[in-house]
A = this chain, B = another copy of it.
Amino acid sequence: MPPPIEDVWPAVCLVRPQMGENIGAVARVLLNFGLVSLRLVAPRDRWPNPKAEVVAVGADHVLKAAKVEWKLEDALADATLVVAATARPRGLEKPVWGPRETATKLRAAIAAGERPIVMFGPEASGMETDEIARADAIMTLPVNPGFASLNLANAVAVFAYAIAEARQETDAPSWFKSENPPATQEELEGLFSHLEQELEHGRFYHPMDKAPLMKRNLRALFLRTRMTQQEVQTMRGVIKALTVGRGGRKKDDV
């Protein structure tokens, strides 16, 4: 198993969060996607918060290391780049990015030595305009305009996922994770001949002039699966098992 990921940047800053459960859920989902820096500005309830601890189970160290401040400016003091997550840009003249764009830009910024922080507002009301005004850019999620209000941890989940995707970008996507060697053309040909021979024996091809088309369609079906060597062997076993004991043909005829 590869080693755990624990990226210090970007940090996530919860502005006036209300429910302890949500703070705990944010800590958990940050660590799920390899982020560990959490900041809290004026949490509504006392801190530390036992409800947060229950929900954050497994991400305790993220929660314990959370930096708690009373003023937003203190929480953002060391940031070189601030993004506000909000559905409502409210006419501020700021760039507006989606999560993917935000993640790509932040990863590039971090590589260049920057310290970005992404702010998320309180559950019920969102951030004040002058809080958002501190941001260099706004991150907006592509939400349903008829039902835009996201659970806080779900919103952070989407952002943290986008960061994890951006982290992986260098890796090629692996469409097919098979550890087993793929069948060669020769092995496939052996399978097809075997099958076609048995089908002829079972009078599958009628009318006979359609046989080439029927063969082609069957081959297309099996080619599409990109069979492994093991699977070709299995299919040959299947054909043998299906045809064993039928009349008019000797066992060793193959």
Binding site for B on A (CB under 8 A): 1-6, 25, 28-29, 31-34, 58-59, 89, 91, 93, 95-101, 141-151, 153-154, 157-158, 161, 164-165, 167-168, 173-180, 195, 198-199, 202-204, 214, 217-218, 221-222, 224-228, 231, 234-235, 237-248
CB nearest to A140 among chain B residues = B177
The answer to whether A238 touches B222 (Cβ under 8 A) is no
The answer to whether B228 touches A93 (Cβ under 8 A) is yes
Residues A245 and B244 in contact in the complex (CB < 8 Å), given A143-B32, A234-B221: no
The answer to whether B202 touches A231 (Cβ under 8 A) is no
Copy count, this protein chain: 2
CB < 8 Å neighbour of A3 from B145, B168, B214, B248: B145
The answer to whether A145 touches B1 (Cβ under 8 A) is yes
CB nearest to A205 among chain B residues = B241
Bound CA–CA A2/B149 (angstroms)? 15
The answer to whether B203 touches A244 (Cβ under 8 A) is yes
| A–B complex contacts, Cβ < 8 Å, 10 sampled | A4-B146, A6-B144, A91-B179, A96-B177, A99-B161, A153-B154, A158-B158, A158-B161, A242-B242, A245-B246
Bound CA–CA A158/B176 (angstroms)? 22
The answer to whether B142 touches A164 (Cβ under 8 A) is yes
A129 → chain B, closest Cβ, in Å? Answer: 16
Bound CA–CA A235/B150 (angstroms)? 38
Bound CA–CA A108/B99 (angstroms)? 22
Residues from chain B with a CB closer than 8 A to the CB of A144 are: 4-6, 31-34, 164
The answer to whether A202 touches B93 (Cβ under 8 A) is no
Residues from chain B with a CB closer than 8 A to the CB of A5 are: 144-146
The answer to whether B154 touches A95 (Cβ under 8 A) is no
CB < 8 Å neighbour of A143 from B164, B221, B226: B164
Residues A217 and B242 in contact in the complex (CB < 8 Å), given A146-B4, A158-B158: no
The answer to whether A175 touches B224 (Cβ under 8 A) is no
The answer to whether A147 touches B59 (Cβ under 8 A) is yes
Residues from chain B with a CB closer than 8 A to the CB of A151 are: 25, 28-29, 153, 157
CB nearest to A158 among chain B residues = B161
The answer to whether A242 touches B245 (Cβ under 8 A) is no
Bound CA–CA A63/B50 (angstroms)? 30
